[in-house]
């Protein structure tokens, strides 16, 4: 599926629960990129744009609390991908990730390609509050 190939910039991201309430896990202003290449590799990075800056330019000098807050505001992973066009899914086969439980596991996403956007949605996922949400990421192709 040639239209997937390239670099995409995040335009919008949100989560929606069964009751239709909208939430913004990384905040309302998130920056991100996702890349897909012809060899079947992919990488994704998402960051809260208001993420607090470390107290030191040397990451070895910051507190555990600063690390915790920084981790909560950043998500990244890379690996390979396969597309099932008939099912409308792309599967990210995760090799490495900021979430240490993701490598070796697949991340399924439902996709929709519009004239200008790639829309990825997760299956319902249980959050810290115990409720399930669908996460939606809207990407705009830049390369």
Residue 80 is encoded by which pair of tokens? 């390979």
As a whole number of Å, the CA-based R_g of the chain is 16
- 3-state DSSP of 58-125: CHHHCCHHHHHHHHHCEEEEEEEEEEECCCCEEEEEEEEECCCCCCCCEEEEEEEECCCEEEEECCCE
**Residue 9 DSSP symbol:** E
Domain ranges within the chain, ordered by starting residue: 2-141
Q: Which pLDDT value is given to residue 52?
A: 80
Q: Which pLDDT value is given to residue 58?
A: 87
pLDDT tens track, the chain, 143 positions: 789 999 999 999 999 988 778 877 777 889 999 999 999 999 999 999 888 888 888 888 888 888 888 878 899 999 999 999 999 999 999 999 999 999 999 999 999 999 999 999 999 998 777 889 999 999 999 98
Q: Which pLDDT value is given to residue 28?
A: 82
Full-model pTM: 0.89
Q: Is residue 137 exposed (0-12), middle (13-18) or buried (19+ Cβ within 10 Å)?
A: buried
Q: Write down the CATH number for the domain with range 2-141.
A: 2.40.128.280
């Amino acid at each position: 599926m040639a239209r997937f190939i390239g670099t995409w910039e995040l335009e919008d991201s949100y989560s929606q629960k069964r009751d239709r309430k909208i939430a913004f896990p990384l905040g309302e202003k998130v920056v991100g990129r996702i890349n897909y290449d012809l060899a079947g590799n992919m990488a994704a990075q998402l960051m809260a744009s208001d993420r607090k800056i470390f107290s030191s330019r040397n990451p070895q000098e910051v507190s555990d609390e600063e690390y915790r807050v920084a981790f909560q505001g950043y998500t990244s992973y890379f690996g390979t991908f396969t597309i099932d066009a008939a099912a409308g899914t792309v599967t990210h086969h995760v090799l490495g990730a900021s979430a240490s439980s993701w490598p070796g596991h697949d991340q399924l996403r439902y996709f929709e390609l519009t004239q200008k956007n790639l829309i990825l949605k997760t299956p319902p996922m249980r959050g810290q509050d115990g409720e399930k949400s669908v996460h939606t990421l809207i990407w705009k192709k830049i390369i």
